Chains A and B, each alone.
Chain A
Amino acid sequence: MDKQNGISRRDFLKTSAAAAVLVGAGPMLIGQGAHAAGSDVIRVGVIGCGGRGTGAANDCLAAGGDGIKIVALGDLFQDRLDGCLNNLTGKEELKGKVDIPKDRCFVGFDAYRKVINCGVDLVILASPPGFRPSHFKAAIEAGKHVFMEKPVAVDAPGVRTVMAAGELATQKGLGVVAGTQRRHQKSYIETINRIHDGAIGDITGGQCYWNQGGLWNHGRKPEWTDMEWQVRNWLYFTWLSGDHICEQHVHNIDVINWAIGKHPEKAVGMGGRQVRTDPAYGHIFDHFAIDFTYPGDVHVMSMCRQIDGCANNVSEHVVGSKGSSNCSNSITCDTPWKFDGDNPGAYQQEHKDLIDSIRAGSPLNEAQRIAESCLTAIMGRMSAYTGQEITWEQALNSKEDLMPTKLELGPLPVPPVAIPGRTPFV
């Protein structure tokens, strides 16, 4: 594993001093979080303490060197919080990097606000995606740097919230990195750079896939309310995950948007719930196929499936006037190229890139591009659910707000499965 640490404490102080000069000299370039208070430690709060939140916390600590500390945790459920706490405090190698007293552990729907307001500089947002826009907005408004897992929204109001908060982050000089780790994978970066430099000519079309089997399911316990059951099985409810086209396939869609350098203009898609029909799996589809049209009448076929026992494929492919590429490590053209070299683990690299950028005083801000990639996936889902062609403007301005009106551990009916041709576009 790549164990390279970030900038050393001494380098950090050096950049801090330089940053202080910049702040004094002109527009505020440094977020009020990281080191404005004179501390040389970035204090991190984790919101969403499941397997990924805990994984991201570990990645963040591994990437951040000595000057980083996890200091607060928040989750809807006590058992998830405890699991994360035990994981982080139980590791010998994390001694000195974890300082989470009981009064900085928060449980409930409002735990995120308490984490944000307990003296942290950076938050890791890893709750189910439906909660992300409100968590992200609150974090940016409070002046915190953010690492947030993908997807960052499940509906258009959420996308608009993320875009607006992303702009505010730029104004405030806050760092924002999203967990689309391919964007931080050296092999991808070098391949896409070549595509942008014209190695395959003008892009004329492409394909992207996330076809795999089904995923985990936590069987319902009698003591769980509807809300608890749904949040614990968030993959299977559109208000929480955005459906698997958004939750999972957004990775590949994001790569296509990156390679083409634009988002699509419209989508025509289809999909259904063919095999995974048990109520335990909520109301999401188990397969989608979308035709995205990018500017210049460039068509990209997107396909995703979660059905056991079928052909698997997780990949991207773009075709250009002079060649083609898998976007990840090779280019086929007159002078073929294949990535060769050290390819550090992107799950740590994405944190390192964020932390390095904050320390260097020029924080990364990926909010707009990840919001666009999520909206691309949501536009595809809207088209498949309704059976209609959906344009970017329609998708972006959709009024469909999937968040339940009441956030409480109580009754919550499962929406009907979408029926193309009958389910209306809202």
Chain B
Amino acid sequence: MRLATHLTCALAACAVIAGACAIPAAAAETAPPAAYTESIPGSVVTFDMVPVPAGEITMPDPAKKGATKKIKVGPFWMSKTEIPWDAYDIFVFRLDEPQGAPGKDATTRPSKPYGEADRGYGRKGYPVINESYLGAQAFCKWLSAKTGHTYRLPTEAEWQYACEAGQPAPTGDKLKECAVTFADKTSPCASKSPNAWGLYDMLGNVAEWCTDLKGKPVACGGSWEDKPEKVKPTARKYQTEDWQANDPQDPKSKWWLSDGQFVGFRVIRVK
């Protein structure tokens, strides 16, 4: 909870000068972000956010084939692990609300899945799978409303920058140490070693929903299903109709991917 302490100090200083006031944006930008633990009100679930320093990444330029462009990113906080079911279930099943009638609230929530969205791979401590980009986005909106902090999905530039953490892409034994690849199913979050910035499972386990440079949904980093050579910071998957091949309904679910057992997400917060 170092962030909380830091903010309390800032607030105290502020109060002395101008009475009650909001935190000035400048203070948040200049202060080095510190790791903190976020709690979801109305539940006992918490998750850790780690700081990612500001920097620059070179990416293929979507406007010009073959060209690259430099993109400034950060600083931001990123969730230390992929978002686990523990948090997503509160959102989907309204476990943050009193028990009773079907709930209504300001933020849209996914439909309840028919069947076992975790595929029996594991729930508590395991990364969310089979959720749509829309579902991951809606989670961010809900989480923001619940916590008062603005969360969103990373852009692919932010994600890749955080994934690389200033290091060359790991391969061979180094990859094995930090990534779940070519396995029978997902592993619990943070089963392997973190990267240089303390982020777990950026590579492998589940591919992670991001927004690409054109604003389209893309899943980054490869997953437990992929062979090691396909698990790397530049790995990208775009949704195809195969991701819902076994959804028996038509129109198919907006919220659930019947065959998206390899895709999850993590969140970032800029201020």
Please indicate the chain B residues that have their CB under 8 angstroms from the CB of A217 in the complex.
102
Total interface residues on B, CB under 8 Å, equals 30
Verify if B68 is at the interface (C-beta below 8 Å from A).
no
Residue in B92, B101, B117, B242 whose Cβ sees the most chain A Cβ within 10 Å: B101
Tell me the bound Cα distance from A313 to B120 in angstroms: 6
Verify if B94 is at the interface (C-beta below 8 Å from A).
yes
| Contacting pair A87 B116 (CB below 8 A) | no
A55-B249, A87-B251, A217-B102 are known contacts. Are A312 and B112 too (CB-CB below 8 A)?
Answer: no
Nearest-neighbour CB distance to chain A for B242, whole angstroms, equals 5
Interface 0/1 of A325-366, CB less than 8 Å to B: 000000000000000000001110000000000000000000
Please indicate the chain A residues that have their CB under 8 angstroms from the CB of B251 in the complex.
51, 54, 87
Verify if B226 is at the interface (C-beta below 8 Å from A).
no
Tell me the bound Cα distance from A179 to B111 in angstroms: 23
Please indicate the chain B residues that have their CB under 8 angstroms from the CB of A2 in the complex.
245
Please indicate the chain A residues that have their CB under 8 angstroms from the CB of B247 in the complex.
55
Nearest-neighbour CB distance to chain A for B5, whole angstroms, equals 33
Verify if A311 is at the interface (C-beta below 8 Å from B).
yes
Verify if B93 is at the interface (C-beta below 8 Å from A).
yes
Tell me the bound Cα distance from A284 to B148 in angstroms: 39
A212-B115, A214-B112 are known contacts. Are A309 and B95 too (CB-CB below 8 A)?
Answer: yes
Residue in A59, A179, A345 whose Cβ sees the most chain B Cβ within 10 Å: A345
| Contacting pair B93 A213 (CB below 8 A) | yes
Tell me the bound Cα distance from A216 to B110 in angstroms: 10
| Contacting pair A52 B248 (CB below 8 A) | yes
Nearest-neighbour CB distance to chain A for B252, whole angstroms, equals 8
Nearest-neighbour CB distance to chain B for A366, whole angstroms, equals 17
Tell me the bound Cα distance from A51 to B248 in angstroms: 8
Verify if B241 is at the interface (C-beta below 8 Å from A).
yes
Report the nearest B residue to A51, measured CB to CB.
B249
| Contacting pair B95 A314 (CB below 8 A) | no
Verify if B38 is at the interface (C-beta below 8 Å from A).
no
**Which of B94, B104, B114 meets A308, CB within 8 Å?**
B94
Report the nearest A residue to B101, measured CB to CB.
A278
Please indicate the chain B residues that have their CB under 8 angstroms from the CB of A52 in the complex.
248-249
| Contacting pair B111 A216 (CB below 8 A) | yes
Tell me the bound Cα distance from A353 to B162 in angstroms: 49
Interface 0/1 of B90-118, CB less than 8 Å to A: 00111100011110100000011111111
| Interface positions of A (Cβ within 8 A of B) | 1-2, 51-52, 54-59, 87, 179, 181, 212-217, 219, 248, 275, 277-278, 280, 308-309, 311-315, 345-347
